[in-house]
Structure 1
Amino acid sequence: METSIAILVFFALLQVKHLFADFYFQTATMLEGRENYFHKGRCIHATIHILCTIPVLLLMGTTASGIILLCVLEWIIHFHIDWAKARYTLDRQLTPQDAGFWHAMGADQALHHFTYIGMVWLWLNL
Structure 2
Amino acid sequence: MLLLTFKHIMADFVLQTAWMAHGKDQKHGWGLPLLVHCLIHLAVALPLILIVAPRFWFVALIDFGIHIIVDRAKGLVSANLHVNQEHPWFWTLIGVDQALHHLTGFGLSIFMAAN
SS in 2 for 1:96: coil
1:21-32 matches, within 5 Å, as 21-32=11-22
Q: How do 1:73-84 and structure 2 match up within 5 A?
A: 73-84=62-73
- TM norm structure 1: 0.79
Q: Identity rate of aligned residues, in percent? A: 29
Shift of 1:37: 8.2
- The alignment partner of 1:99 has SS state of coil
* Structure-2 separation of matches of 1:109 and 1:37: 23
- What residue number does 1:86 align with? 75
Deviations 1:29-68 (A, max 9, x none): 32343244860111111111011112321232331xx21x
Q: 1:4 — aligned with what?
A: none
Residue aligned with 2:67, SS: helix
Alpha-carbon RMSD: 1.8
TM-score, normalising length: structure 2? 0.86
Change (3 A) 1:86 1:70: same
Q: Distance in 1 between matches of 2:53 and 2:59?
A: 13
In structure 1, which of residues 16, 20, 23 is the aligned counterpart of residue 10 of structure 2?
A: 20
8 Å Cα contact 1:37/1:83 also seen in 2: no
- State the aligned residue count: 113
Match of 1:114 in 2: 103
Q: Which runs of 5+ in 2 are unaligned?
A: none
Amino acid at match of 1:25: L
Displacement of 1:16 after TM fit? 1.6
Runs of 4+ in 1 over 4 A off after TM superposition: none
Structure 1, gaps ≥5 residues long: 1-10
Check if 1:59 corresponds to 2:51. yes
CA contact (8 A) 1:62 1:123 kept: no
Question: 1:75-117: per-residue Cα shift (whole Å, max 9, x none)?
Answer: 1100111111111012111111223011100000000001001
State how 1:94-105 maps to structure 2 within 5 Å.
94-105=83-94
